[in-house]
Each structure stands twice: as structure tokens, then as C-alpha cells.
Amino acid sequence: MSEQTKSRPEFRNLNLFRDVARYRLPPAGWASILHRASGAFLCLLLPFAIWLFDKSLTSESSFAAFSAALDNGFVRFVAWLLLVAYLLHLFGGLRHLVLDVTHRMTKPFGRNTALAVFIATAVLAVVFGIMMM
């Protein structure tokens, strides 16, 4: 029996400088990595988020300070990044829940749910970015 198979590169021990540039991670892999990275980012920026929340609710003068802080472009950008990380982590977590509940562990389903996470995050990131301008 002779089968016509497409020869694919085999990666066993990845060399960071030689192989990683050629390695193509599927969308499900990117979704998983970005879910973890966004969780770490949210954890690191938790003091900033708590400060923003505290400034927005304490009093009228602290809300004015909050509004003044958001007039700074860098603070607004960091707040937007925090929101995008939250959206990515939320949709990635929902994706993992769907995968756990449905037990559908096929490549197409994983790819489609990963792309849905990216599309939903991108659409809402653009909408909230426009609203924050």
C-alpha cells in the first residue's frame, strides 16, 4: 500500500531561534495561550482596576479625579487594554466551558470556537475603543 501523504515538518525539540519562527500554531492554541496571558495581565493590573473602581465610586470629588485621570491618553489606553484583556479572558473562559460541557473535542469545533472568541473580542474592543474616545 502506497499512500500519498503530504510531508509535514516534525517538531520534537523546538529551538527558540530556529524552529519557533516557522511553527504555525492553530487558532485553538492561540486562544488557549491568550486566555492564560490575559488572566495574568488581569492579575497584574488588579491594583489599577481597584483604584479606578474606588475613584469612580467614593465621592463626587473622587469621581472628578477619576474623570481627570481618564483624560490622560496613557491611562485611557491602559484602561482600554484592561477591558480588552477582560473580554478576551471572559470569552476564552466561556469557550472552555462550552468545550467541557459539550465534550466536542474535534479540530474544526476547536478552531471555530477559537475564531468566535477572537471575532467577539475584536468587535467589542473596537466598540468600546470608540466609546472611550
Compute CA 86 distance to the chain's CA centroid, rounded to the nearest angstrom: 7
Q: What is the mean pLDDT of each run of 10 residues along the chain (133 residues)?
A: 65 70 84 94 88 83 83 87 94 93 89 95 96 87
**HSE of 17, CA atoms in CB hemisphere, 13 A:** 0
Domain 27-132 coded CATH 1.20.1300.10: yes
Round to whole Å and give the CA distance between 31 and 110: 9
Confidence (pTM): 0.76
Per-domain boundaries in the chain: 27-132
pLDDT of 1 reads 47
**HSE of 97, CA atoms in CB hemisphere, 13 A:** 7
